Structure 1
Amino acid sequence: MNAGGEQAPDGGHDFIVVGSGAAGLVGAISARLAGLRPLIIEKSDRWGGTTALSGGVLWIPANDAMMAEGVDDPIDRARAYLAGLLGPDANERERAKAEAFLDHAPAMARMLEGEGLKWVRNRDHPDYYPEVDGAGAGRTLEAAPIDGHRLGQRLATLRGVELNVPALTSDKFGPAVLAKTGIRPAMTGAGIMLRHYRDKLRGRKPLGSGRGLIASLMLIVDRLGIPVRLSTALADLTIERGAVTGIVVEHGGRRETLLAPAGVLLAAGGFAHNPALRRELQGFAETWSNASPEDQGDALVAARAIGADTELLDDCWWMPTLEVGPDTRALALGLRALPGSIVVDHHSKRYMDEARSYMATGRIMREHGAAEHRHWLIMDERFLSRHIFPDLSPPGARAAMMAGGTLKRGETIAELAAACGLDPATLSATVERFDGFARAGVDEDFRRGDTAYDRYWADPAHRPNPSLGLIERPPYWAAVLRPGDLGTNGGVKTDAAGRVLDGTDRPIEGLYAAGNGSGSPFRRSYPGAGATIGAAATYGFIAARHAAKRRVNAPSD
């Protein structure tokens, strides 16, 4: 398809990257280091995409940091793990994509480290399916926190720059939540806040998590002289003799064609905030997504228009999500695993191990009707007073949620049930049964607290089970919990080189995809902390290097 518009001159680029999240920035960096001249375009007036809103970690098995610390993580263990997650019905192409990830992920991280990105390894974070052969721990990397002022003028357009939060590494998330539970966690929490205020007093802008990662990548982009065009939306792909030769963009009410003789990398995310596409492809439009607002499927629409095939469109990276306000959501991580809380459905009953990975629990919630009916996170006063949740602990936040009807309070469980529209007798029986499990330390219904992952987000000082605690101290609280997501995890169909495939499984020459706009190399699984960004960055790396070897697009034979 060739759309109308003014033909733009070459402008010094030969490879175009659509999107400024991790997939896009790593793809552009990889392309430049391989000898190409990339250009990054971003639909928003802010750069960073959903990555900037995330925890900013990457799942990289057999990474160099593990090797340097003498941690033995043979790649065959990760291979066995992914094989178990992909399942016996995975086809040759799907297995090849997972294999390519394993082959290239450590090299991608090594390349970025060579360009100045400082990696920190979370030594303890377990994989998300500890029961599967080959599962391990410590495979998660993240960028060390940095001072945002190193970005210069670029800092002003970073997504989330207005947030004033401590720059944490992921191993500090749990201790920060537990800061009220003992001397050691309190000291950890105090240290976090002292460093934050010290940095502020010194005139620094501390950036951690997703903002820290994306800022570290942008520093490399700027140092390599890679141009970035904001407020520039993908409108169409140009194709000649079966090969993608460029893109049509919209900027300031005008259209122009940008040439890409070495290829185009679609790294613009998925379609989490496009109700029409979600209704068409997933069967529902009611969502509670935590993806960036611009995650609307522009790249998917453009690729489908030229014959790209698709896969896994009905799935998401699920994430249990609190409704904080009409347009405000909060991720429910430790809330589900810490002692003193449970999740019940609209029948007042538990239906899962609440402490499992967010992918597993979010999917179960969706399948159990949590989109159509309100499901509730039940807590007591001790739970809220002992733990720190930025979106729930402040009295003002609770008042706003109560005013909006997404947080309820009761002096008894029966009163709480009535406020939530639940059956008082059933909810009382559910809580009483769970309290019995908490006293014994064994969840006889769903085995909560049995796995390494369940215990990671729990309270290690709590006995007898770090994830099971009594719900007995009034007043009692209930917050609406929804099957939110971190974005969609299906999109255009790709091969192990990141090439977009057509309906006959042949590559569309010159067109690549990475990240949430393409089918995940892990199919419907979420192997470990940072699997989304790890896969996105790795396939940005793979695709750019493949494009560099080709140099000039040519039609398929």
Structure 2
Amino acid sequence: MKALDEVVDVLVVGSGGGGVTGAYTAAREGLSVALVEASALFGGTTAYSGGGGMWFPCNPVLVRAGVDDTLDEAFEYFHNVVGDRTPVELQEAYVRGGAALIEYLEQDERFAFKILPWPDYYGTVPGARADGMRHIVSKAVPDERLGRFAGRVRGPLDHERLGASQPDLLTGGRALIGRFLAAMAGNDAVTAHLHTHLVDLIVDDGRVIGAVVEHEGESRVIRVRRGVLLAAGGFEQNQAMRDEFGVPGSASDTMGAPGCTGAAHRAAIAAGAATDLMDQAWWSPGLIHPDGRAAFALCFAGGIFVDKAGRRFVNESTAYDRSGREILRAMAAGTVGTPFWMVYDSRTGEQPPVMATNVSFSPTDEYRSEGLWREAGTLADLAEQIGVPADTLAETVRRFNELADRDDDEDFGRGREPFDRAFIGASPLVPIDTPPYRAAAFGVSDLGTKGGLRTDVHGNVLNTAGDPIAGLYAAGNTMAAVSGEAYPGGGNPIGASMVFSHRAALHMARG
């Protein structure tokens, strides 16, 4: 046995939305906590989120605003979308647990939230909210309020990928992480360790009693009295694991944080944990940038995607995971290549009509020099540049323009659901008729893998026989997603991560 370095009540592995929620809850309930983060900064993938949204129906912020909704209606919607792919009791725990979590957090004045309307992603499913009134975000917070954690929050993406300056005001997912860190900064019962990797779990007579971690090449042992919470994200950054479990896409194109390498998955599997959904991720179309990486993109104010034959194949404006899955199906069928192309015109200039790129546009010349953006005076010339039949592309554009003139996409339903129109304030059916004609290269991106450890409603990890492993908990993308193979609404990944981390900490606090 290695020399004992630390004894705490709870060890939390990972510092994204789930990790900090679990650490905060455990500490608030009087437990000592060690929070370990594999990378150099706190926040995980949550800190990359521009909104940092939480899908928490009927929470106090919404109730105070007079939103007319019920948890029964919200659960009807969620279950209609997810079906029986995941245990119904887990779905109930999530949908009904968000409001209680916000009530718990608002008892602490260091937390503050606001509404950010974000329509549900399956707008025609019974129970869906077209007005987006199930979605909230954290209010911004100055970095200076984070005390000992000031300057330690990861992101934004433009800072890490483009070298942009890091703002002092934390917004979006960074604000959510920041408020949790600020709430723990003055608590001596919380120790936090960066550059600290999970190596293995320590199991004694079927119970997890601690973990071996590595800090700057040195192994340490952290023993726990109550349990270990694994909230270390997915394995999206680990190409070997993606290949092993058949997750489409590439580690180079994920939006996941650097520490999302699957170490927590591996350690738990070695301890007997059962897994599910290991071939799944939160997918999206990805605009390819000059560095060769495809990055999550949404809110398309025009343009069409075309396949190898020059035909449309998807509702371009549908919720990103839905369109991402359609793109992957087409790629698997061999009708869509990598890259595939968005075709648009010059009515708004050279940039493709993408309102939210997550990683900001680089100078136009860089896309041109890399062959990622093409332009031509005619559709026939553009077709030649992107390798599709000229006559088919011309007919595709003619047909799309006809549908745009009627503002009714009877081919793919673009614009028929609230999400399709919500963020552009107009129809996404914009004619392509202003030369020069243009094309931008796209691939598939993801927000992280969603396969992971099977748990009960307390976040307690289950073994392959379906029984809880004493002392072991999971949440976030380390846990098999409660939403199964679907993505019901914005704020579902962060929201579920927070709820099950909170429930896990409460379960450990009760002993």
TM range (shorter): over 0.9
> Matches of 1:301 and 1:490 in 2, distance apart?
12
> Matches of 2:242 and 2:361 in 1, distance apart?
35
Residues 1:73 and 2:36 aligned together: no
Q: CA deviation at 1:31?
A: 0.8
Equivalent residue for 1:6? 3
> Matches of 1:292 and 1:476 in 2, distance apart?
36
Q: CA deviation at 1:164?
A: 6.8
Structure 2 spans left out of the alignment, 5+ residues? none
Q: CA deviation at 1:457?
A: 2.6
**Cα deviation digits, residues 329-354 of structure 1 (max 9, x gap):** 4322112xx1x311111221111111
Aligned partners of 1:341 and 1:471 also within 8 Å: yes
Aligned with 1:382: secondary structure?
A: coil
Decide whether aligned partners of structure 1 residues 318 and 9 sit closer, same or farther in structure 2, where only a CA change above 3 A counts.
Answer: closer
Q: CA deviation at 1:85?
A: 1.5
Identity among equivalent pairs (%): 35
| TM value normalised by structure 1 | 0.85
Equivalent residue for 1:429? 395
**Cα deviation digits, residues 114-151 of structure 1 (max 9, x gap):** 222110112x3211111111111310010111222222
Decide whether aligned partners of structure 1 residues 276 and 395 sit closer, same or farther in structure 2, where only a CA change above 3 A counts.
Answer: closer
Amino acid at match of 1:353: N
Amino acid at match of 2:120: D
Task: State the superposition RMSD in angstroms.
Answer: 2.3
> Which of 46, 54, 57 lines up with 1:58 in the alignment?
54
Q: CA deviation at 1:163?
A: 5.0
> Matches of 1:27 and 1:146 in 2, distance apart?
20
> Matches of 2:106 and 2:158 in 1, distance apart?
27
Equivalent residue for 1:125? 118
Aligned partners of 1:318 and 1:359 also within 8 Å: yes
Q: CA deviation at 1:403?
A: 1.8
Equivalent residue for 1:36? 31
Q: CA deviation at 1:390?
A: 7.6
Equivalent residue for 2:504? 543
Residues 1:375 and 2:350 aligned together: no
**Cα deviation digits, residues 447-491 of structure 1 (max 9, x gap):** 11011111113333xxxxx11111111222211211211001110
Decide whether aligned partners of structure 1 residues 204 and 291 sit closer, same or farther in structure 2, where only a CA change above 3 A counts.
Answer: closer
> Which of 250, 261, 275 lines up with 1:310 in the alignment?
275
> Matches of 1:205 and 1:373 in 2, distance apart?
38
Aligned partners of 2:458 and 2:504 also within 8 Å: yes
**Cα deviation digits, residues 269-299 of structure 1 (max 9, x gap):** 0000111111111155635211112211010
Equivalent residue for 1:506? 467
**Cα deviation digits, residues 79-117 of structure 1 (max 9, x gap):** 111221122x446xx100011112321111122222221
Decide whether aligned partners of structure 1 residues 394 and 299 sit closer, same or farther in structure 2, where only a CA change above 3 A counts.
Answer: closer
> Matches of 1:520 and 1:393 in 2, distance apart?
26
> Matches of 2:417 and 2:379 in 1, distance apart?
29
| TM value normalised by structure 2 | 0.92
Residues 1:419 and 2:385 aligned together: yes
Amino acid at match of 1:435: N
Amino acid at match of 1:270: G
Residues 1:324 and 2:289 aligned together: yes
Q: CA deviation at 1:157?
A: 2.5
Amino acid at match of 1:100: A
Decide whether aligned partners of structure 1 residues 471 and 16 sit closer, same or farther in structure 2, where only a CA change above 3 A counts.
Answer: same
Decide whether aligned partners of structure 1 residues 20 and 418 sit closer, same or farther in structure 2, where only a CA change above 3 A counts.
Answer: same
Amino acid at match of 1:59: W
Equivalent residue for 1:206? 169
Equivalent residue for 1:363? 325
Decide whether aligned partners of structure 1 residues 127 and 499 sit closer, same or farther in structure 2, where only a CA change above 3 A counts.
Answer: same
Q: CA deviation at 1:36?
A: 1.2
Equivalent residue for 1:171? none
Q: CA deviation at 1:372?
A: 5.0
> Matches of 1:292 and 1:419 in 2, distance apart?
35
Residues 1:410 and 2:390 aligned together: no
Equivalent residue for 1:189? none
Residues 1:217 and 2:180 aligned together: yes
- Count, aligned residues: 497
> Matches of 1:81 and 1:284 in 2, distance apart?
28
Aligned partners of 1:333 and 1:457 also within 8 Å: no
> Matches of 1:489 and 1:227 in 2, distance apart?
28
> Which of 99, 103, 115 lines up with 1:110 in the alignment?
103
Q: CA deviation at 1:259?
A: 0.4
Decide whether aligned partners of structure 1 residues 273 and 372 sit closer, same or farther in structure 2, where only a CA change above 3 A counts.
Answer: farther
> Which of 85, 89, 106 lines up with 1:96 in the alignment?
89
> Matches of 1:396 and 1:41 in 2, distance apart?
35
Structure 1 spans left out of the alignment, 5+ residues? 166-199, 461-465, 551-557
Equivalent residue for 1:517? 478
Equivalent residue for 2:261? 296
- Residues 478-497 of structure 1 aligned to structure 2 (within 5 Å): 478-497=439-458
> Matches of 1:496 and 1:151 in 2, distance apart?
32
Aligned with 2:476: secondary structure?
A: coil
Decide whether aligned partners of structure 1 residues 332 and 383 sit closer, same or farther in structure 2, where only a CA change above 3 A counts.
Answer: farther
Amino acid at match of 2:38: K
Q: CA deviation at 1:360?
A: 0.3
Aligned with 1:248: secondary structure?
A: strand
Aligned partners of 1:155 and 1:161 also within 8 Å: no
> Which of 417, 438, 459 lines up with 1:477 in the alignment?
438
> Which of 7, 29, 48 lines up with 2:43 in the alignment?
48
> Matches of 1:263 and 1:153 in 2, distance apart?
25
Q: CA deviation at 1:419?
A: 1.4
**Structure 1 range deviating more: 436-445 or 406-415:** 406-415
Equivalent residue for 1:347? 309
Aligned with 1:8: secondary structure?
A: strand
Decide whether aligned partners of structure 1 residues 410 and 523 sit closer, same or farther in structure 2, where only a CA change above 3 A counts.
Answer: same
Aligned with 1:52: secondary structure?
A: helix
Aligned partners of 1:341 and 1:383 also within 8 Å: no
**Structure 1 range deviating more: 259-268 or 422-431:** 422-431
> Which of 80, 83, 86 lines up with 2:82 in the alignment?
86
Aligned partners of 1:414 and 1:424 also within 8 Å: yes
> Matches of 1:205 and 1:486 in 2, distance apart?
25
Equivalent residue for 2:224? 260
Equivalent residue for 2:194? 230
Aligned with 2:264: secondary structure?
A: helix
Equivalent residue for 1:142? 137
**Cα deviation digits, residues 348-391 of structure 1 (max 9, x gap):** 11111111101100111111108853211112111446968586
> Matches of 2:360 and 2:449 in 1, distance apart?
31
> Matches of 1:524 and 1:540 in 2, distance apart?
21
> Matches of 1:407 and 1:438 in 2, distance apart?
24
